[in-house]
Amino acid sequence: MQNKQEQIPLWRQLQATAHVIQAVREGQSGSAAVEAVSADLRPGVQALAFHVWRNLGRAEALRRLLANRPPPPAADALLCVALALAWTDVGAPYDAFTLVNQSVEAAKRDSATHAQANFVNACLRRFLREQQDLVEATDSDPVARWNHPLWWIERLKRDHPKQWQTLLHSANRQAPMILRVNALQTTVAAYLEELAACSIAARAVGSSGVELAKAVPVAQLPGFATGRVSVQDAAAQLAAPLLLGDAPVPARVLDACAAPGGKTGHLLELGVQQVTALDVDAGRCERIGQNLSRLGLAAEVLVADAARPDRWWDGKPFDAILLDAPCTASGIVRRHPDIRWLRRESDIAQLAELQRKLLQSLWPLLAPGGRLLYCTCSLFLAEGAQQVKTFLAHNTDAKLLPSPGHLVPANSAKPGTVPDNQAGEYDGFFYALLQKLAP
């Protein structure tokens, strides 16, 4: 018996996927665009959209060869969806002829693309006839080869001259599903036994993490509903232990820019009694509360701008501050492949300025001897090493303690191979631990 997803016509999924791709091109986040898709289509559309974003550079290069000028946005999105899914057999979800036929059907059945249905059909039929030659003609295009904007590729070349190719390869693979084990409820070893009893293959990663061999819905995870584990990448799991270190647990901790609350929860799991978690977005603050409620933990959650402490700070210094600053998110494109197409190069300077303001605004709130952990999920030096270098130059009471610096995904499997899941696999992150010197 076919499941519900298999009963949905492919043309409907392609149609909805094209709408998602167009929404991101117009500035909407991929997560929001997928969430707007009807529930029956959403799982299939998300899988197709992720595949498209990981092949969109190639698809756009092919479309330029097939059409002298771009068609209207809706038709262009559908055409690029078809080309992204069909240009190579490696990892293709359907055969090329099926994709072409169903894409043309999608064009015919959508009022936004109906007038261009013949154009879409002509382009895709030509693609089928000349596929090898067309693909070879795009091989010299770096955007087509790496499936990232050119400015992104050039930035990685400058920032990571020895690793940029590995980073781009890694960004186009699916990230592993990693869990953080709640130390207040169980241990990694005990939870691995629970997973084994449910026939879920997994291994330990880091001090508190468990990496699943294959992603599963959270509802299938033993104890998830009662807070035994949380979904959190291994790199993000480093934040709370780095901030706390081996010293006595600080009494009063600020988690600035805390939503959705993963790091807040980890701090509480490690024994911090008083955490103030704030975020400028009220809706995201609700998620902090929901996540803490699932864990059976509590924090003071404030809807506030971390860069304006005059509006929310009570004047009592914090013993430790975690600043997970807003950034380009260039280190987590494996999990959010739309980001590379959503970001603009100018975003880096704008976000770096916001990060500078946050550091300068929060530093006075830290007690002498206290520690501030600055982190971003970015690979770009302007949001990491360069940001901290500038901060240290302007704040003589700050000392950089031993810190990981820029972490990059360690898995170097080539496209089309099976990821080896070696130890050290994580998202791209930056960490700098700063201590405030006594006057």
pLDDT value at 304 more than 60: yes
Domain topology for 4-147: N-utilizing Substance Protein B Homolog; Chain A (1.10.940)
Which strands form 398-407's sheet, in the order they lie side by side? 300-303, 274-279, 252-256, 318-324, 366-376, 429-436, 398-407
| Stretch(es) of the chain classified as CATH 3.40.50.150 | 236-436
> Could you tell me the pLDDT band of residue 410, with boundaries at 50, 70 and 90?
low
Residues serving a catalytic function are 377
Domain topology for 178-231: Alpha-Beta Plaits (3.30.70)
Q: For 114-128, what is each residue's pLDDT tens digit?
A: 999 999 999 999 999
- The pLDDT score that the predictor gives to residue 5 is 52
> Could you tell me the pLDDT band of residue 408, with boundaries at 50, 70 and 90?
confident
Mean pLDDT of 337-363: 98
Mean pLDDT of 289-297: 96
Q: For 174-193, what is each residue's pLDDT tens digit?
A: 889 999 999 999 999 999 99
Q: For 361-404, what is each residue's pLDDT tens digit?
A: 999 999 999 999 999 999 999 999 999 999 999 999 999 999 99
> Could you tell me the pLDDT band of residue 420, with boundaries at 50, 70 and 90?
very low
* Spatial contact of 45 and 16, defined as CB atoms under 8 Å apart: yes
pLDDT value at 4 more than 70: no
Question: 207 φ, ψ to 5°?
Answer: -85, -25
pTM: 0.92
Which CATH code for domain 236-436?
3.40.50.150
> Could you tell me the pLDDT band of residue 421, with boundaries at 50, 70 and 90?
very low
| Stretch(es) of the chain classified as CATH 3.30.70.1170 | 178-231
First-to-final CA distance of the chain? 73
The whole-angstrom separation of Cα 376 and Cα 353 is 14
> Could you tell me the pLDDT band of residue 6, with boundaries at 50, 70 and 90?
low
pLDDT value at 280 more than 90: yes
| Stretch(es) of the chain classified as CATH 1.10.940.10 | 4-147
Q: Which two tokens stand for residue 360?
A: 């300068």
pLDDT value at 412 more than 80: no
Q: For 245-266, what is each residue's pLDDT tens digit?
A: 987 888 899 999 999 999 999 9
Tallying the residues shown for the chain, one arrives at 439
Round the average pLDDT of the chain to a whole number and report it: 93
pLDDT value at 422 more than 90: no
